[in-house]
Amino acid sequence: MKLSTAIQVILTFAFAQSVHAQAEEWGQCGGIGWTGPTTCVAGTQCVVENDYFSHCIVVATSSASSSSVSAPSSTPSSPASACSTPSTVSGFNNAALPNPFTFNDGTPVLTASDWTCRRAQIAALIQGYEAGTLPGPPQTLTSTFTQSGTTGTLAITAANDGPSFTFSQTITFPSGTAPAVILSHISTKIAVLSYSNSNMAEQNGATSRGGGLFYNLYGTDATASAMTAWVWGVSRIIDVLETTPAANINTQKIAVTGCSRDGKGALMAGAFEPRIALTIPQESGSGGDACWRLSLYEQNSGSVVQTATEIVTENVWFSTNFANYVNNLNSLPIDHHLLAAMIAPRPLISYENTDFAWLSPLSSFGCMTAAHTVFQALGIPENHGFEQVGGHAHCAWPESLTPSLNAFFDKFLFGQNVSTDEWSTNNVFNGVSWNASDWINWTTPTF
């Protein structure tokens, strides 16, 4: 069984249909253009991080007798309101994985609010070095929704001055009256939206750069890579679903998934679109949940894996600028543990297949181990899962993985009190050794 009926060829994501009047902990509760809930569940407060994003977090309170002490000037905190987000860092040089708990200027990340700023820094750096610029919404965005039986069609038109295009998505709703949750053949209580990401931005090899609907709107010379264009399309789908009550979609319960190249896209979408509630990349490998530095280490250790130098010649998933850095990875202030960490505190579970060395199995395990430290710092390690097995074809779905996937569905989409302590590997790394201290040289703080 696969994660969805079209997982091999499209980026598929699906939506729950239960209704929540309040945003849950870490959920969005405000911001320019936000049309969702503006109040938070008990025990949390809606905290403004910037003009475009507010979220529900637990705010510590001090008693009347307590006093506050400023942090030493040598280790200042950097609130989101004063967050500097350059697209490059001059003079960076680090053979190990970059520290998620250090700001660009070298000062430490001390609080959950600091992490919001650090996340914004990482987002800017990923765009600057490997993904290209992610535009905001177009000048106009309209849609129509029709439904016949259990099949709906969502047609979206985007326009900037003269240029415009229309793209359509099919939504398959569950039959009966049970609350829809999400995704695949694991449950009949599902709604699945199939996203034709290759129409949004082509991925037919190195010569397809600038092809697809996105570039009709932003020009063939737009810096956005194909995957960045896919993320833009995901956001536009969510935009219109938020204002399409006829579709009966709960936009607080959106999940995104895909396999192989579409798994790379699913991870990128989950990282850059904060309205995605659950991210599930499958066998995304290099360019997905694997780290560039670790994949190169695997290659240098004798494994035949996909590396940064290969991927920029294979397809247009990354920006043209990335090619300037693939031969000197130490100069990158980012790697994909930081891409995955951008999803925190929202939940993420990724699946890898050790039967295919090309996917860089050690790199995926090590990279997600590094990303996991951010979830630990935020006090939510159960929001991050990783499962790595073999014994099946690429993008097939072994039944042994179903319990872990169901656990993430039940907790983060159904709201059930279940364990999501899902972290395992079969340690099949093709003779390449893993020593965490060689790559993860930071101490994980507690926010």
> Rounded distance, CA 59 to CA 142, Å?
38
Active site residue 260: yes
Between the two ends of the chain, the Cα-to-Cα distance in Å is 40
* Residue 281, number of CB atoms within 10 A of its CB: 30
Active site residue 424: no
Active-site choice (184, 260, 364, 404): 260
Q: What residues are annotated to the active site? A: 260, 394
